[in-house]
């Protein structure tokens, strides 16, 4: 580990502790006593207000109510921040109005040489949704739904919400306990527990027209909600083993709520477990088409007969 990087990490280590000793620094960073002492002295010279305690069990602590030194980033940390920042373009993320001020503050923290590196990266790296002719152009699709920020502010205060959704023929309100808010396939989705019907529902944020707190004096607690959900979970009836080619296809496209678990550290094999509603013709057709899309690099452990029959019918179309 380079000296600059080590000192930055030691500073964060110190900041997170009320008290520390030279011996602890030596053990934590696998350095000699003389190196630990030199690093501590350099950190003090940078302005961190350390107070030494005299005695056999003495050590150091950070002086309370003191101004800490300016945050310093390594070159790799700056590039990691900037690339992550670039990757958010055209992703319909909330708080996009703050993007420009964030960029200006980030550039203000770094040297001219580091700024030159970031300008070069900005010219070379393009992410999904970026206009190659004008990488700085923000398309209209870059703007999130106007209700997204209001939803986030509401759920930070309380997870019990009353949301109003515009449906095909009417506008309906649902009292929910918000479980997750996630972004998938270009859509923001609300996963919530319907407090009235006591079941899980998923709502597209694009259809959200209003959100407000939902007072629950004697309502279901989070613990009871999770208990009810666990009891109502559908029985898994599709289990597949995926090889590397099937995993690559899975990453290109997979239905909502379907996930995989990697079975080795190299992420070249995985297990897929899910429930298929065989009584829903549209869902059944979608799953059959998707399994064909995954290709032959799969091994079936468990599958409903209806799915197997559908696959055989589709494959026989190509039979001589």
Q: What mean pLDDT, rounded, does the chain reach?
A: 81
Give dist(CA 153, CA 273) in Å, integer.
34
Q: Residue 58: pLDDT band by 50, 70, 90 thresholds?
A: low
Mean pLDDT comparison of 19-33, 58-72, 101-115, 131-145, highest-scoring range: 19-33
- Which residues have a Cβ under 8 Å from the Cβ of 155 and sit 6 or more positions away? 161, 178, 181
- Which residues have a Cβ under 8 Å from the Cβ of 225 and sit 6 or more positions away? 177, 193
Q: Residue 222: pLDDT band by 50, 70, 90 thresholds?
A: confident
What tokens does 64 get?
Answer: 């309370």
Over residues 83-130, the pLDDT tens digits come to: 887 777 766 778 777 777 777 777 777 778 888 888 888 778 877 766
Is the pLDDT assigned to residue 250 strictly greater than 70? yes
**Number of neighbouring beta carbons within 10 Å of residue 288:** 19
Give dist(CA 110, CA 12) in Å, integer.
19
**pLDDT higher at 70 or 31:** 31
**Number of neighbouring beta carbons within 10 Å of residue 78:** 19
Q: Say if CB 190 and CB 202 are below 8 A apart.
A: yes
Determine the pLDDT at residue 80. 87
Is the pLDDT assigned to residue 168 strictly greater than 80? no
Over residues 180-208, the pLDDT tens digits come to: 998 876 778 899 999 988 888 888 898 99
Is the pLDDT assigned to residue 65 strictly greater than 50? no
Is the pLDDT assigned to residue 175 strictly greater than 90? yes
Determine the pLDDT at residue 256. 62
- Which residues have a Cβ under 8 Å from the Cβ of 92 and sit 6 or more positions away? 141, 142, 143, 144, 145, 148, 183, 186, 188
**pLDDT higher at 261 or 69:** 261
Q: Say if CB 81 and CB 72 are below 8 A apart.
A: no
Over residues 131-155, the pLDDT tens digits come to: 666 655 444 455 678 888 899 989 8
Q: Which of 48, 43, 11 is nearest to 28 (CA)?
A: 11
Q: Which domains does the chain have, with CATH numbers?
A: 3-62 (1.10.10.10), 75-141 (no CATH), 148-232 (2.30.30), 238-316 (3.30.70)
| Pairing of the two strands 187-194 and 171-184 | antiparallel
Over residues 273-289, the pLDDT tens digits come to: 888 878 778 788 888 99
Q: Which of 202, 199, 271, 275 is nearest to 234 (CA)?
A: 275
Phi, psi at 22, each rounded to 5°: -60, -40
Q: Which residue in the block uniquely carries the two structure tokens 């995985």?
A: 270
Name the least confident of 3-17, 224-238, 242-256. Answer: 224-238
Is the pLDDT assigned to residue 317 strictly greater than 60? no
**pLDDT higher at 248 or 132:** 248
Give dist(CA 180, CA 193) in Å, integer.
10
Determine the pLDDT at residue 140. 44
Determine the pLDDT at residue 219. 72
Determine the pLDDT at residue 132. 63
Mean pLDDT of 241-255: 90
Q: How far is CA 279 from the centre of its chain?
A: 33
Give dist(CA 233, CA 231) in Å, integer.
6
């Amino acid at each position: 580990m380079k000296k600059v990087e080590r000192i930055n990490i030691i500073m964060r280590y110190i900041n997170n502790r009320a008290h520390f000793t030279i011996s602890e620094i030596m053990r934590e960073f696998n350095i000699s006593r003389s190196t630990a002492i030199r690093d501590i002295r350099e950190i003090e010279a940078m302005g961190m207000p350390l107070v030494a305690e005299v005695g056999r069990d003495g050590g150091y602590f950070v002086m309370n109510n003191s101004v800490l030194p300016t945050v310093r980033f390594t070159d790799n940390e700056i590039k990691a921040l900037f690339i992550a920042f670039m990757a958010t373009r055209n992703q319909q993320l909330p708080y996009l109005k703050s993007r420009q001020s964030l960029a200006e503050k980030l550039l203000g923290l770094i040297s001219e040489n580091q700024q030159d590196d970031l300008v070069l990266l900005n010219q070379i790296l393009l992410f999904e949704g970026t206009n190659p002719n004008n990488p700085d152009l923000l398309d209209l699709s870059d703007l999130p739904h106007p209700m997204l920020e209001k939803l986030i502010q509401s759920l930070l205060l309380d997870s019990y919400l009353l949301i109003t959704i515009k449906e095909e023929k009417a506008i309906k309100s649902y009292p929910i306990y918000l479980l997750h808010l996630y972004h998938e396939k270009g859509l923001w989705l609300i996963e919530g527990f319907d407090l009235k019907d006591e079941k899980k529902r998923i709502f597209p944020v694009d259809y959200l027209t209003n959100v407000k707190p939902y007072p629950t004096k004697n309502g279901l607690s989070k613990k009871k909600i999770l208990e009810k959900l666990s009891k109502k979970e559908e029985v898994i009836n599709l289990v597949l083993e995926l090889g590397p080619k099937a995993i690559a296809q899975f990453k290109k496209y997979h239905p909502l709520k379907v996930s995989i678990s990697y079975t080795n550290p190299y992420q070249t094999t995985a297990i897929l477990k899910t429930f298929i509603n065989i009584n829903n013709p549209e869902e059944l057709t979608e799953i059959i088409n998707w399994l064909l899309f995954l290709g032959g690099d799969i091994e079936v452990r468990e599958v409903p007969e209806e799915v197997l029959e559908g696959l055989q019918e589709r494959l026989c179309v190509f039979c001589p």
